C-alpha cells in the first residue's frame, strides 16, 4: 500500500465534502474555503481582463456557479481515485484480472460515483474493505453531487428575486431624489409608504439569500436597472432624504423609514462574506434642488449637510457595494 496516496486522497476528499457542506448547508458560514477563494479569484480576474465591461461581467455568475460545481465534483472524484490508487490491487480489470492503471481507476471511480459501476473494473484486494469503499464512493456521489445541483437551482431562484427587487426600485426612480419625487402627491408621501414597506420586506429576504449564497454578490446584470447593487443605495438614500432632508412630520412614516433602513443594514452586513470593503471616499450627496423643482419641502442645504456628515461610514459602505459591482455613483442618470 502507498500511504502517501491514501493520505492525500483522504485530504482531497475531505476538502471537497467540507467545502460543499460549508457552502450549501451552513447558512451563516458564507462560502467554503475552496469555493470562496475560487469565486473571488474569478471575479477579480474577469474585471481585470474585461475592463469592467457589463456584458462580459454578466457571465461571471454563471461561470462561477459552473466552476464551483465542477470543483466540488472534481475534488470528490480525485480524492476517491487517489484512495483507490493507494493499493495496486484495489481495482482490477474484470476481463484480464490485472491491476487497473491510473486511467482505469479514474474511470472506475467515475462510474461508481454516478452509476454504481459498469462491470469493466471491480474491487478485489482486501475483500470487503474496497467493496465498502466502493459503496461509500457511490453514496458520496449521489449525496454531494445532488446537494451541489440543488444549490445551483436555489441560487438561480435567488438571482430572479434579486433582479425583481432591483427592477421595482429603479422603476420608481433611477436616483434617490427621483424615487422620492415619485411618491410626492403635492401634499405628502403616503402613496409611497406601502411600496417602501414591500421593498423593505423583499430586501430583508434578499439579505438572507446573500448571506446563505454569497455567490449572489457576483451575479452582475448587464443593465443597471436590474442590479441590486444599484437599487439598494437608491432606496437607502431615498429613505435618508425622507428622514433628514424633509421637514419633520412631512416625510414618510418614521417607522417605515426605520424598517427600510434596517433592511439595508442587514444587506450591508453580508458584505464581509463577499470580501467587499467600504469605499475610501464618500459618495456625492443627493441634490435637494431636484426635490424643490417639484415643490417638495426640504430643510436647508446646511442642515442636510450636517446630517450627512454623521452618516459617512454607512454611505462609504454603500459606495463600496456600487463599485464592487463595477458601477458608478449615482449608477443611472436621469
pLDDT digits (tens, 9 = 90+) for 35-45: 888 888 888 88
Q: How far is CA 129 from CA 120, 181, 329, in A?
A: 19, 72, 62
- Residue among 211, 196, 206 nearest 227 (CA): 206
Quote the CA–CA distance of 271 and 289 in Å, as a whole number: 32
Q: Is the per-residue pLDDT at 334 higher than 50?
A: no
Rounded to the nearest integer, the mean pLDDT of the chain is 86
Q: Is the per-residue pLDDT at 55 higher than 90?
A: no
* Residue whose C-alpha cell is 461581467: 57
**Cβ-count burial of 106 within 10 angstroms (0-12 exposed, 13-18 middle, 19+ buried)?**
middle
Quote the CA–CA distance of 100 and 122 in Å, as a whole number: 9
Q: Is the per-residue pLDDT at 12 higher than 90?
A: yes
Quote the CA–CA distance of 272 and 279 in Å, as a whole number: 14
Q: Which of 71-75, 120-124, 271-275 has the lowest mean pLDDT?
A: 271-275
Q: Is the per-residue pLDDT at 272 higher than 80?
A: no
Decide: 290 and 184 in contact? Cβ < 8 Å: no
Average pLDDT on 70-77 reads 92
Q: What is the pLDDT of residue 119?
A: 64
Here the cell at position 150 is 440543488
Q: What is the pLDDT of residue 30?
A: 72
Residue 288: pLDDT band (50, 70, 90) is: very high
Residue 61: pLDDT band (50, 70, 90) is: confident
pLDDT tens track for 182-201: 988 888 888 899 999 999 99
Q: Is the per-residue pLDDT at 307 higher than 70?
A: yes
Decide: 57 and 327 in contact? Cβ < 8 Å: no
* Helices marked H in 186-253: 190-212, 228-244
Q: What is the pLDDT of residue 299?
A: 92
Q: What is the pLDDT of residue 149?
A: 86
Find residue 122's DSSP bridge partners. 92
Phi, psi of 247 (to 5 degrees): -55, 150
Average pLDDT on 201-230 reads 87
Q: Is the per-residue pLDDT at 249 higher than 70?
A: yes
Decide: 225 and 66 in contact? Cβ < 8 Å: no
Average pLDDT on 163-186 reads 90
pLDDT tens track for 111-149: 888 875 566 777 776 557 888 888 888 888 888 888 888
Q: Is the per-residue pLDDT at 95 higher than 80?
A: no
Q: Is the per-residue pLDDT at 237 higher than 90?
A: yes
Q: How far is CA 162 from CA 75, 148, 212, in A?
A: 31, 21, 14
Q: The whole model's pTM is what?
A: 0.80
Quote the CA–CA distance of 16 and 34 in Å, as a whole number: 8
Here the cell at position 320 is 463600496
Average pLDDT on 52-69 reads 84
Find residue 91's DSSP bridge partners. 123
Q: How many residues does the chain have?
A: 334
DSSP element (H, E) containing 122: strand 121-123
Q: What is the DSSP letter of 123?
A: E
Decide: 86 and 30 in contact? Cβ < 8 Å: no
Amino acid at each position: 500500500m502507498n500511504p502517501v496516496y491514501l493520505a492525500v486522497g483522504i485530504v482531497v476528499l475531505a476538502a471537497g465534502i467540507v467545502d460543499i457542506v460549508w457552502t450549501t448547508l451552513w447558512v451563516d458560514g458564507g462560502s467554503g474555503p475552496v469555493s470562496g477563494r475560487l469565486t473571488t479569484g474569478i471575479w477579480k480576474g474577469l474585471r481585470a481582463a474585461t475592463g469592467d465591461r457589463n456584458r462580459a461581467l454578466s457571465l461571471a455568475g454563471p461561470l462561477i456557479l459552473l466552476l464551483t460545481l465542477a470543483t466540488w465534483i472534481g475534488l470528490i472524484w480525485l480524492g476517491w481515485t487517489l484512495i483507490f490508487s493507494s493499493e495496486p490491487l484495489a481495482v482490477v480489470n474484470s476481463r484480464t484480472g490485472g491491476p487497473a492503471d491510473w486511467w482505469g481507476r479514474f474511470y472506475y471511480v467515475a462510474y461508481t460515483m454516478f452509476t454504481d459501476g459498469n462491470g469493466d473494473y471491480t474491487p478485489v484486494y482486501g475483500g470487503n474493505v474496497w467493496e465498502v469503499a466502493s459503496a461509500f464512493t457511490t453514496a458520496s456521489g449521489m449525496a454531494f453531487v445532488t446537494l451541489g445541483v440543488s444549490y445551483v437551482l436555489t441560487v438561480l431562484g435567488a438571482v430572479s428575486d434579486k433582479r425583481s427587487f432591483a427592477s421595482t426600485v429603479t422603476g420608481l426612480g433611477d436616483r434617490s431624489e427621483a424615487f422620492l419625487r415619485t411618491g410626492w402627491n403635492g401634499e405628502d408621501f403616503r402613496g409611497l409608504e406601502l411600496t417602501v414597506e414591500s421593498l423593505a420586506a423583499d430586501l430583508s429576504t434578499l439579505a438572507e439569500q446573500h448571506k446563505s449564497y454569497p455567490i449572489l454578490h457576483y451575479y452582475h446584470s448587464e443593465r443597471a436597472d436590474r442590479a441590486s447593487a444599484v437599487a439598494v443605495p437608491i432606496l437607502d438614500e431615498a429613505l435618508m432624504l425622507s428622514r433628514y432632508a424633509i421637514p419633520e412630520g412631512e416625510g414618510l412614516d418614521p417607522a417605515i423609514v426605520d424598517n427600510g433602513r434596517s433592511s439595508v443594514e442587514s444587506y450591508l452586513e453580508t458584505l464581509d462574506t463577499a470580501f467587499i470593503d467600504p469605499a475610501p471616499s464618500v459618495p456625492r450627496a443627493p441634490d435637494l434642488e431636484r426635490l424643490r423643482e417639484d415643490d417638495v419641502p426640504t430643510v436647508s442645504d446646511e442642515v442636510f449637510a450636517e446630517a450627512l456628515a454623521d452618516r459617512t461610514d454607512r454611505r462609504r459602505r454603500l459606495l463600496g457595494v456600487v463599485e464592487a459591482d463595477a458601477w458608478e455613483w449615482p449608477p443611472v442618470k436621469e
